[in-house]
Structure 1
Amino acid sequence: MGGPLLTPENDTLGRRWENDAEYLHVNSSVLVVTANPSSIKYSVSVTQETAPNMVYATADMMGEDANVASPSFNLTWVLPVDPSFSYFVRVHFCDIVSQAMMNTLVFNLYVNDDLAHKSLDLSSLTNGLRVPYFDDYVAHASGDGLEVLKIISPVKSLLFPGGGFNKKVVFFGSAVVAVTSVLLIAVCCYCCLAASRKKSPQKGGNGNGNGHPWLPLPLYGLSQTSHKSNTASCISLASTHLGRCFMFQEIMEATNKFDECSLLGVGGFGRVYKGTLEDGTKVAVKRGNPSSEQGMAEFRTEIEMLSKLRHRHLVSLIGYCDERSEMILVYEYMANGPLRSHLYGGELPPLSWKQRLEVCIGAARGLHYLHTGASLGIIHRDVKTTNILLDENLVAKVADFGLSKTGPSLDQTHVSTAVKGSFGYLDPEYFRRQQLTEKSDVYSFGVVLMEVLCCRPALNPVLPREQVNIAEWAMAWQKKGLLDQIMDGNLTGKVNTASLKKFGETAEKCLEEYGVDRPSMGDVLWNLEYALQLEETSSALMEADDNSTNHIHGIPMAPMESFDNSVSIDIVDRGGVNLGTGTDDDATTSAVFSQLVHPRGR
């Protein structure tokens, strides 16, 4: 409220935040106040991904000509809605007006004529000033209310014909005790596909059973299932990134009753089917095995993790179903399936070297976002070629977060946990010490790199003993400088020598025995991008010096200078998304990654 237009380039999740002026019912009753964006104090539960600091640093308060003494005075916003739908509402608050005293800002929050939150005291909720806070609601358009995100009905689409926007909605923020009040409300436009889904009203009232036209949403809780009927009364998860709660009948219709002809694969969690929703959207439906001991834990972990994440290189979760004790997850459909099927064991045409590099870069971006995008970081713990999926354009996306774990806090170096993962990809240090770090994912990704190059499984027990484990076998050839002798025969004579060398060096660093000697995913991403550049150039390449810093012919070589290990590097996604800031993790930087910390290395 009161802030400038924020475009997707200014938001970490690519959302658009509009100024509220055109929605204000009475402009003269409002005075815009601002604060220094850097003064906003984010918490563990409210981060930059929740809303940019500029959203919390601007606000509307009652103007000088407003009759603030009147108990009926309201700050009012009016928006057009379609009465045929229900809507998701998220309101953002931050007390940037109070200077020192707490508990001086108290107001009521109304949606329609219903009291959504009585005597809302921001300082009590946040234990401080300038600390952001948000709350979520579902509003029904049968009356008047602030309608923000459509919740799709089973019998209607988002393009409901003939409905039109014939209702106005009014959102009231009523001041009752405080001399001044601040109300911030934002529309999470980026999450339109994540709107909750409610079944058409049936006998017995609305979905929540209490007759209220809105209901607060629980934080990361699963849907509430009625044991008195075969349908679930679904309450959407709090995060707007999570999709709708499907009815089991919808899943049956989408998969043609789990037709075996639609089976895409079988994993540790269960079977995966191809499905089609009523609007024609193709989806992948993962049905958990009820006899699996870890099934429910992985089911909950996957939902909770994906509710916090959204990235171009992470598979998106559309929704879930837990009706009838089912554990069903519905994902976006990845037309080209797992990376492994393009490497061996199938009849698909082989990927070119450039395509393989682009796939590895996409997966590295997804993992780098996992490690740095969340407040504490997330460790995937099961990185392998079957969990890297390709869409119709061969864009790689990381999938399967059932084993994922929140990373260590700032004052910790690791997370102590039981060993889980896939044999052949397990970090040996994690296996020995049961201490999990982001570098465990780096090791697994190193195995993936060798798998991409050699087109063979991570473990193959039918081979001679020294060849069973691809990591050990490929590392032996890499150390001899003969990695080209074991690469996929389809690549022979088609790979730029300098690009292959950089790729091999990167994989070698990932597969170091100790995590402290491995690079971060940001460094891995950088080097893979560099290998792709070397592949794309048609000019002759030459070695700059013995430390494997490569030089592209025709581009002047900058004189080598001493460098400072503290130099930070911004890793930027090609789509414009800032992927974080990387710094060199090792006290002695290896020759392989010298260009990563050198200001002119690239």
Structure 2
Amino acid sequence: MVILYYLFAGYISETMKMGASLPPYRTFALDELKEATNNFDSSCFISEGPHGQIYKGVLSDGMHISIRGLKMRKRHSPQTYMHHVEMISKLRHSHLVSALGHAFECNQDDSCVNSVFLIFEFVPNRSLRSCVSGSSGEKISWTQRIAATIGVVKGIQFLHTGIVPGLYSNNLKITDIVLDNNLNVKISSYNLPLSSENKRMISNGTYPGLKGNVQARIKGEDKNDVYDIGVILLEIILGRPIMFHNEVGTLKDLLHVSIKTDDIARRSIVDPAVHKECSDESLMTMMEICVRCLSDDLTERPSVEDILWNLQFAAQVQNSWKRDSSDHSYSPAPSSRDT
């Protein structure tokens, strides 16, 4: 028989509640989670991965949530996990699938924690990959792709600097970037505190999104995330799924060569769905920052702030180009004095 420990969550800073639409972070009763998932019925099961088993559920007030159940390898009291829970309570940002609360499931005999349930907002599972390189469905535009990458980088920037200590080596994958109904980007999987499986995976140098040994990437914490941003940019530009690590170097070299060629050659490698609608300056900026992110030399990879500046510049020149193109294409009807 198990009991649920309740922890007081009043320590949460109001300044960390990113997004007025989210309810305050709180502790949940285990019975609430059981009711929301019909006692964790298989019909509510989403997936199982480095962050434990994930279920979807609906609270009594109608709010949709996702629940991540983590089995604890070592037996500790709930107080031992207070620091981790406090960090998780601060993971609230418009470009993260944000934390809403937690629950502890404890052993009745010694009150040690058996499982930790982390409750997050639920975002429909429409991945960024399906919107840029999926085989079905309408692909998002070049302007929307730039906006999506800006959202991803802002989310990573928050993980690095918005909480103390920052969360690095987030094993970022394009399949873990989801879009809501308004095409707002959210990172659904990142380096959660308490996830021993995730930490073990990082220390082993594995990378589920790309098959192959990438131990060389696990050297500079922030630069690992920069590399992963580069892989996402590569897929966004080319419009094709990248499944193997050895593809990245080849495609990076292709981009590097195309930067030095002419506009026609550059566009020949870009996703055909968008290659006619992007300005050359915008495309060049995206390609250049992508190549820099994927540099084998960690010291040559840009900072997250540098990436963000370049993406915002790409968005700006793209918008200016679209306005100019629209103005030039407009031809007013002749007036009566002209006929």
Q: Which TM-score band applies after superposition, normalised by the shorter structure?
A: 0.7 to 0.9
Q: Structure 1 stretches (4+) deviating beyond 4 angstroms?
A: 299-302, 423-428
Higher relative contact order (CA 8 A, sep 6+): 2
Q: What is the aligned partner in structure 2 of residue 6 from structure 1?
A: none
What is the one-letter code of the residue matched to 2:98?
A: S
Query: Residue 403 of structure 1 contacts residue 420 of structure 1 at CA under 8 Å; is this kept in 2?
Result: no
* 2:94 match: secondary structure: coil
- What is aligned with 1:526? 309
Alpha-carbon distance in 1 for matches of 2:270, 2:45: 32
Which amino acid is the alignment partner of residue 231 of structure 1?
A: I
- Once residues 139 and 159 of structure 2 are traced to their aligned partners in structure 1, the CA distance between those partners, rounded to angstroms, is 29
Distance 1:340 1:322, change over 3 A: farther
Specify the alignment match of 1:471 in structure 2.
248
Partner of 2:227: 443
Using the alignment, how far apart are the partners of 2:132 and 2:238 within structure 1?
9
Q: How does 1:210-359 map to 2 (within 5 A)?
A: 230-237=2-9, 238-240=11-13, 243-288=25-70, 290=71, 303-323=85-105, 325-345=114-134, 347-359=136-148
| Distance in 1 separating the partners of 2:82 and 2:247 | 33
> Which residue of structure 2 lines up, in the alignment, with residue 513 of structure 1?
296
Does 2:161 align with 1:372?
Answer: yes
User: CA RMSD, aligned part only?
Assistant: 3.4
CA deviations on 1:563-583 (whole Å, 9 max, x unpaired) are xxxxxxxxxxxxxxxxxxxxx
Contact persistence 1:458–1:469 (CA under 8 A) = no
Q: CA 1:274–1:418 in structure 2 vs 1: closer, same or farther (change >3 Å)? A: closer
Among 219, 237, 241, which residue is 1:453 paired with?
237
Deviations 1:95-148 (A, max 9, x none): xxxxxxxxxxxxxxxxxxxxxxxxxxxxxxxxxxxxxxxxxxxxxxxxxxxxxx
Change (3 A) 1:347 1:258: farther
Question: 1:379 touches 1:438 (CA, 8 Å); kept in 2?
Answer: yes
> For residue 502 of structure 1, what is the amino acid of its counterpart?
T
The residue number in structure 2 matching 1:487 is 270
Q: Could you tell me how far apart the structure 2 residues matched to 1:265 and 1:427 are?
A: 23
Change (3 A) 1:336 1:434: closer
User: Which has more radius of gyration?
Assistant: 1
TM-score normalised by the chain length of structure 2? 0.73
Instruction: List gaps (5 residues or longer) in structure 1.
Output: 1-228, 406-416, 461-467, 542-602
Cα deviation, 1:491-511, whole Å, max 9, x if unaligned, reads: 242322221111111101111
Asked if structure 2 preserves the Cα contact closer than 8 Å seen for 1:474 and 1:483, the reply is no
Structure 1 residue 345, shift from structure 2 partner: 4.8
State the AA in 1 paired with 2:59.
L
Q: For residues 424 and 376 of structure 1, do their structure 2 counterparts lie closer, same or farther at Cα, with a shift above 3 Å needed? A: same
Distance 1:284 1:278 in 2: 14
User: What residue is the counterpart of 1:68 in the other structure?
Assistant: none
CA distance in 1, matches of 2:282, 2:217: 35
For 1:525 and 1:485, the matched residues in 2 are separated by 26
**CA separation in 2, counterparts of 1:520 and 1:474?**
22
Conserved 8 A contact 2:234-2:290: yes
1:418 Cα deviation (Å)?
A: 2.6
Query: Percent identity between the aligned chains?
Result: 30
Q: TM-score if structure 1 supplies the norm length?
A: 0.43
Name the aligned partner's letter for residue 518 of structure 1.
Answer: R
Aligned residues: 290
1:478/1:433 CA distance change after superposition, 3 Å? closer
Shift of 1:422: 1.6
Per-residue CA deviation, residues 379-428 of structure 1 (Å, 9 max, x unaligned), is: 143111133222221111223334579xxxxxxxxxxx834452556998
SS at the partner of 1:321? strand
CA–CA separation in structure 1 for the residues paired with 2:148 and 2:236: 9
CA deviation after TM superposition for structure 1 residue 366, in Å: 1.4
- The amino acid that maps onto 2:246 is N
Flag the 1:376–1:250 CA change in 2: closer, same or farther, 3 A. closer
Structure that is richer in strand per residue: 1
The aligned runs of 1:3-22 (5 Å cut-off) are none
Say which structure is richer in helix.
2
Q: What secondary structure does 1:258 align onto?
A: coil
| Contact 1:234-1:245 within 8 A present in 2 as well | yes
- Equivalent residues in 2 for 1:26-175 (5 A)? none
- Given that 1:301 and 1:401 are in contact with CA atoms closer than 8 Å, whether structure 2 keeps it comes out as no
- 5+ residue gaps, structure 2, are 17-23, 107-113, 195-201, 259-264, 326-339
Correspondences of 1:407-426 after superposition (within 5 Å): 418-420=203-205, 422-423=207-208
Kindly state the Cα deviation for residue 301 of structure 1 after the two structures are TM-superposed: 8.9
